[in-house]
Structure 1
Amino acid sequence: MSARAGGVTRNVLLIEPDGLVRGTVASVCRDMHIARVRQAISIASAEEWLKAGTPHGMLISLAEGESALAFLARLREGAYRCDANMPVAAMARAGDGALVARLKELDVRRLLLQPFKLRDVIHTLEQLWPVRELLTA
């Protein structure tokens, strides 16, 4: 199901330092009507945007390590204008049991291990919201 349900389009904040990945994900999401993607190159730029912006979901690279996890903790604590419980998916180069446990604590719905295929990212974004949310939005 696409992000368009009853005319509603989901807005996703994509935090990814790699410009090629950011641009590709954003353009495919736009072309396939999955979501409108707001791109941020770093946690700092994402936090700046979140002072005014209110995304419906987030796809975050864990390239910044502890800074990314601390950012997710602040998000879940309600430090930003957006919904503290919005769906989040994460991308990482590697993941061990400790990272997976931490992401579960932070209510991250999905973890994509890089390198990944673009279809994996698209599928992840499409699955962020339960069908009932899309039908009632």
Structure 2
Amino acid sequence: MNGVSLQVMPPQLLLVEPDNLVRNTVAGVCRELELAQVHQAASLSVGVQMLQAQAMDLLLLSLSEADAAIDLIARLRAGGFSSAPDAPVAVMAVATDATTVQRLKALKIRRLLLQPFKIHDVVHTVEALCAHVVPPASAQTLSGSTSTA
């Protein structure tokens, strides 16, 4: 008898947040709820290195380094990484101004979370981002088993 199963891997989420408590809490909840495979970075420079090394399906970025974060998103949208240029992105900020919001809108950011936020807001945000991810063929694994009766 041949058995074949198709398993879809969870989306790859790049989480860039300098605050250890916030980053670890968000990552822990995403893992516990099996929303995504979380890749954590404490800075944008580390996040860029991770994007250069591996394609990510979605991004959740802190705006603590506002201009650098916006530059990273612009580079993503321009196809500067192996991730899809239209990968869903959400950002987190303590505060922001109208100019920054306009720049984010131009880069097609899906959501802006203002801190402090409730963890369920992050969960809903990640769920919404995941809903916009189309799993690539490489994200699916085919496993088969054979046995004789």
TM-score normalized by the length of structure 2 = 0.81
Judged with a 3 Å threshold, the aligned counterparts in structure 2 of structure 1 residues 133 and 103 are, in CA distance, closer, same or farther, namely same
Structure 2 residue 81 is the aligned partner of structure 1 residue 75: no
Q: CA RMSD in A?
A: 1.9
Q: Distance in 2 between matches of 1:49 and 1:132?
A: 19
Question: Structure 2 counterpart of 1:94, which letter?
Answer: A
Measured after TM superposition, the shift of residue 133 of structure 1 is 4.0
Residue by residue over 1:88-137, the C-alpha shift from the partner in whole angstroms, topping out at 9 and shown as x without a partner, is 00001112221211101111100000110111011100011437947xx8
Judged with a 3 Å threshold, the aligned counterparts in structure 2 of structure 1 residues 131 and 110 are, in CA distance, closer, same or farther, namely closer
Residue of structure 1 equivalent to 2:17:
16
Structure 2 residue 110 is the aligned partner of structure 1 residue 109: yes
Question: Structure 2 counterpart of 1:11, which letter?
Answer: Q
- Aligned partner of residue 53 in structure 2, secondary structure: coil
Q: Which runs of 5+ in 2 are unaligned?
A: 1-6, 141-149
Measured after TM superposition, the shift of residue 52 of structure 1 is 1.5
Q: Distance in 2 between matches of 1:41 and 1:125?
A: 19
Judged with a 3 Å threshold, the aligned counterparts in structure 2 of structure 1 residues 130 and 34 are, in CA distance, closer, same or farther, namely closer
Q: Which runs of 5+ in 1 are unaligned?
A: 1-5
Q: Give the number of aligned pairs.
A: 131
Judged with a 3 Å threshold, the aligned counterparts in structure 2 of structure 1 residues 31 and 92 are, in CA distance, closer, same or farther, namely same
Residue of structure 1 equivalent to 2:126:
125
Relative contact order higher in (CA < 8 Å, ≥ 6 apart): 2
Measured after TM superposition, the shift of residue 84 of structure 1 is 1.1
Judged with a 3 Å threshold, the aligned counterparts in structure 2 of structure 1 residues 95 and 75 are, in CA distance, closer, same or farther, namely same
Question: Structure 2 counterpart of 1:68, which letter?
Answer: A
TM-score normalized by the length of structure 1 = 0.88
Q: Distance in 1 between matches of 2:65 and 2:134?
A: 31
Structure 2 residue 94 is the aligned partner of structure 1 residue 93: yes
After TM superposition, the structure 1 = structure 2 runs for residues 11-90 of structure 1, keeping only pairs within 5 Å, are 11-90=12-91
- Aligned partner of residue 75 in structure 2, secondary structure: helix
Contact 2:62–2:91 under 8 Å retained in 1? yes
Question: Structure 2 counterpart of 1:126, which letter?
Answer: E
Larger proportion of strand: 2
Judged with a 3 Å threshold, the aligned counterparts in structure 2 of structure 1 residues 56 and 93 are, in CA distance, closer, same or farther, namely same
Deviates more, 1:92-101 or 1:20-29: 92-101
